[in-house]
């Protein structure tokens, strides 16, 4: 019998698991995928938002800034990579100043204390490559960037190191309420007992909630496509650049990633089913809208397109509640700013558990620290590293030439308490395969290292991200955009 069972190992599930690992509780996390962070956490804008965009009358409005304030300490403890670079919401029309003022006032109502409305000259001094037609911008100094999947991996590693049990490839298909808790059944008929259950199931959270008869809301998958440019391409801008938000989201953004790639997107399309394919016509529209922010974009720097899926609730807000089914807690409809809010959501869930008389006793053996797998460093010239690329198996042997990831780093990533069974899992932890060639050179080399650790063959060609997905490639999008720009 577990004290707490968490369904879902995205940023919300792993944040809650790590928070619970501070206490003398038996905690289990289930996820149907073969790794953590495989849903919305894996593919999103990677922004740590300011906290001004969501209405102060909504749950998500109240949690965003509370979560944002915790990122410095979390990164100091878990080393997933976070940087405050600030954000600008750009206004290109005089009449948009009133909307910026509304965002500013809403931010103040949410407790945000680092907002300022800038004029044209102030903006251009900060961002020389922004469209010079810009008139005003809302500046948030403390907004930032991180890698969401690396953060979830760090949270999960630390939770596991502190005693949390993680069960991957385990889909909960039914939940039965008992007198002393719940009986959960997986796809293989295996049963698990727990006093409390937390639903952090992402786009499936409505289905999980219905398992206990709580069915007043629905989740609609909302897809957003992105364009990712090569490392170093983000040097043209300094901050996260938003256009004016709409009812569908925060609009097309142009932002650096933590490792210096330029990221453009997303659009927003509500779907009946989850489709992670990308489409040339949608990417063209994204690219053209982004050019309104800056004309310095170069589509020849493109390396990858991808689609993120947001879990949009019919309530148009986060659903974080102790349900009428005593002991069952919902964390549903966690779309943007879910990443930013995640530390505060975890705090809120622990508060709900406390109200339900979950026994919280501090564990003196808890350690909050997790060493980094990788750190941000400058890449060396290829000629300089070539001897390390060509050498025989060794900790110093460079396996990924583009991102200069060595064999020791891959082995380290595989020995942190979470089973890593795919080349993609290594990619998310080490950046091997994230470079210009997108793994063409290193995928078989990564598989070779993994085989030594695991003792069995690895399919270097398997890419769970491409399973049933048609993704627009470099040549196709470059030709398509060129054709439609002439």
User: Are residues 176 and 105 part of one domain?
Assistant: no
User: Are residues 304 and 244 part of one domain?
Assistant: yes
State residue 399 phi and psi, 5-degree precision: -90, -45
293 occurs within a structural domain:
yes
User: Are residues 290 and 250 part of one domain?
Assistant: yes
| Exposure b/e, 272-291, CB count within 10 A at least 16 = b | eeebbbbbbebbbebbebbb
Contact 310, 40 (CB under 8 A): yes
Q: Known catalytic residues?
A: 49
What is the longest distance spanned by two Cα atoms in the chain? 69
337 occurs within a structural domain:
yes
475 occurs within a structural domain:
no
Instruction: Round to whole Å and give the CA distance between 103 and 97.
Output: 10
pLDDT in tens, the chain (486 residues): 999 999 999 999 999 999 999 999 999 999 999 999 999 999 999 999 999 999 999 999 999 999 999 999 999 999 999 999 999 999 999 999 999 999 999 999 999 999 999 999 999 999 999 999 999 999 999 999 999 999 999 999 999 999 999 999 999 999 999 999 999 999 999 999 999 999 999 999 999 999 999 999 999 999 999 999 999 999 999 999 999 876 555 679 999 999 999 999 999 888 777 788 999 999 999 999 999 999 999 999 999 999 999 999 999 999 999 999 999 999 999 999 999 999 999 999 999 999 999 999 999 999 999 999 999 999 999 999 999 999 999 999 999 999 999 999 999 999 999 999 999 999 999 999 999 999 999 999 999 999 999 999 998 887 655 567 889 999 999 999 989 976
- Picking from 155, 154, 145, the residue whose alpha carbon sits closest to that of residue 13 is 155
Task: Give the domain extent around 335.
Answer: 1-82+145-218+314-372
For 363, the 3-state DSSP assignment is: coil
Question: DSSP code of 373?
Answer: S
477 occurs within a structural domain:
no
pLDDT of residue 327: 98
User: Are residues 97 and 125 part of one domain?
Assistant: yes
pLDDT of residue 394: 97
pLDDT of residue 486: 61
Question: DSSP code of 45?
Answer: -
Residue where a domain stops, chosen among 259, 279, 310: 310
Residue where a domain stops, chosen among 336, 354, 372: 372
As a dihedral over the C-alpha atoms of residue 295, residue 254, residue 232, residue 396, rounded to 10 degrees, the angle is -160
pLDDT of residue 467: 65
CATH of the domain at 231: 3.30.9.10
Residue where a domain stops, chosen among 278, 294, 310: 310
User: Are residues 72 and 88 part of one domain?
Assistant: no
- Picking from 374, 371, 411, the residue whose alpha carbon sits closest to that of residue 395 is 411
| Exposure b/e, 294-313, CB count within 10 A at least 16 = b | bebbebebbbbbbbbbbbbb
pLDDT of residue 452: 96
471 occurs within a structural domain:
no
User: Are residues 75 and 87 part of one domain?
Assistant: no
User: Are residues 76 and 19 part of one domain?
Assistant: yes
Instruction: Round to whole Å and give the CA distance between 139 and 104.
Output: 9
Domain count of the fold of the chain? 3
User: Are residues 237 and 117 part of one domain?
Assistant: yes
Which contacts of 100-103 are long-range, i.e. CB under 8 A and separated by 24 or more positions?
A: 100/136, 100/137, 100/138, 103/52, 103/53, 103/138, 103/245
User: Are residues 226 and 300 part of one domain?
Assistant: yes
| Exposure b/e, 361-379, CB count within 10 A at least 16 = b | eeeeeeeeebeebbeeeeb
476 occurs within a structural domain:
no
User: Are residues 165 and 100 part of one domain?
Assistant: no
Residue ranges of alpha helices (H) inside 356-473 are 382-390, 407-413, 423-430, 443-454
State residue 254 phi and psi, 5-degree precision: -125, 120
Count other Cβ atoms within 10 Å, centred on residue 168: 18
User: Are residues 392 and 282 part of one domain?
Assistant: no
- Picking from 455, 463, 391, 459, the residue whose alpha carbon sits closest to that of residue 433 is 463
Instruction: Round to whole Å and give the CA distance between 191 and 194.
Output: 10
pLDDT of residue 273: 73
For 226, the 3-state DSSP assignment is: strand
CATH of the domain at 159: 3.50.50.60
User: Angle at CA 210, nearest 5°, toward 204 and 211?
Assistant: 95
pTM > 0.85: yes or no: yes
User: Are residues 138 and 89 part of one domain?
Assistant: yes
Instruction: Round to whole Å and give the CA distance between 104 and 70.
Output: 22
| Exposure b/e, 124-157, CB count within 10 A at least 16 = b | eebbebbbeebbbbbbbbbbbbbbbbbbbbbbbb
10 occurs within a structural domain:
yes
465 occurs within a structural domain:
no
Per the document, the length of the chain is 486
């Amino acid at each position: 019998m577990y004290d707490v069972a968490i369904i879902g190992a995205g940023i919300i599930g792993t944040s809650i698991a790590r928070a619970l690992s501070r206490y003398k509780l038996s905690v289990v996390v289930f996820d149907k995928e073969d790794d953590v962070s495989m849903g919305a956490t894996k593919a999103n804008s990677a922004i740590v938002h300011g906290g001004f965009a969501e209405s102060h009358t909504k749950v998500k409005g109240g949690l965003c800034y509370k979560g944002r304030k915790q990122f410095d300490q979390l990164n100091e403890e878990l080393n997933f990579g976070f940087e405050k670079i600030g954000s600008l919401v750009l206004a290109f029309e005089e009449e948009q100043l009133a909307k910026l003022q509304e965002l500013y006032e809403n931010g103040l109502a949410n407790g945000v204390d680092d907002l300022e409305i800038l004029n044209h000259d102030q903006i251009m001094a900060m961002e020389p490559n922004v469209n010079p037609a810009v008139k005003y911008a809302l500046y948030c100094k403390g907004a930032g960037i991180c890698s969401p999947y690396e953060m979830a991996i760090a949270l999960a590693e630390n939770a596991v190191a502190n005693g949390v049990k993680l069960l991957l490839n385990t889909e909960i298909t039914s939940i039965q309420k008992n007198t002393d808790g719940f009986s959960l059944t997986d796809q293989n008929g295996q049963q698990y007992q727990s006093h409390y259950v937390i639903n952090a199931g992402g786009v499936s959270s409505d289905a999980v909630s219905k398992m206990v008869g709580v069915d007043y809301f629905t989740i609609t998958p909302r897809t957003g496509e992105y364009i990712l440019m090569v490392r170093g391409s983000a040097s043209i801008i300094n901050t996260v650049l938003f256009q004016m938000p709409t009812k569908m989201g925060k609009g097309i953004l142009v932002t650096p990633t933590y490792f210096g790639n330029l990221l453009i997107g997303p659009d927003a399309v509500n779907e009946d089913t989850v489709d992670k394919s990308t489409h040339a016509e949608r990417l063209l529209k994204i690219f053209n809208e982004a050019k309104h922010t800056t004309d310095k974009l170069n589509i020849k720097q493109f390396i990858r397109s991808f689609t993120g899926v947001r879990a949009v609730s019919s309530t148009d807000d986060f659903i974080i509640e102790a349900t009428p089914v005593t002991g069952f807690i919902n964390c549903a409809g966690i779309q943007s700013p879910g990443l930013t809010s995640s530390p505060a959501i975890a705090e809120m869930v622990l508060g709900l558990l406390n109200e339900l008389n979950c026994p919280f006793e501090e564990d003196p053996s808890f350690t909050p620290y997790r060493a980094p797998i990788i750190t941000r460093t400058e890449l060396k010239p290829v000629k300089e590293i070539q001897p390390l690329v060509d050498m025989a198996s060794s900790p110093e042997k460079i396996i990924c030439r583009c991102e200069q990831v060595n064999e020791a780093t891959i082995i380290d990533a595989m020995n942190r308490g979470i089973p890593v069974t795919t080349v993609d899992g290594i990619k998310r932890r080490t950046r091997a395969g994230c470079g210009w060639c997108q793994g063409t050179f290193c995928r078989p080399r990564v598989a070779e290292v993994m085989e030594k650790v695991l003792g069995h063959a690895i399919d270097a060609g398997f890419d769970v991200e491409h399973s049933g997905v048609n993704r627009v490639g470099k040549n196709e999008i470059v030709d398509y955009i060129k054709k439609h720009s002439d």
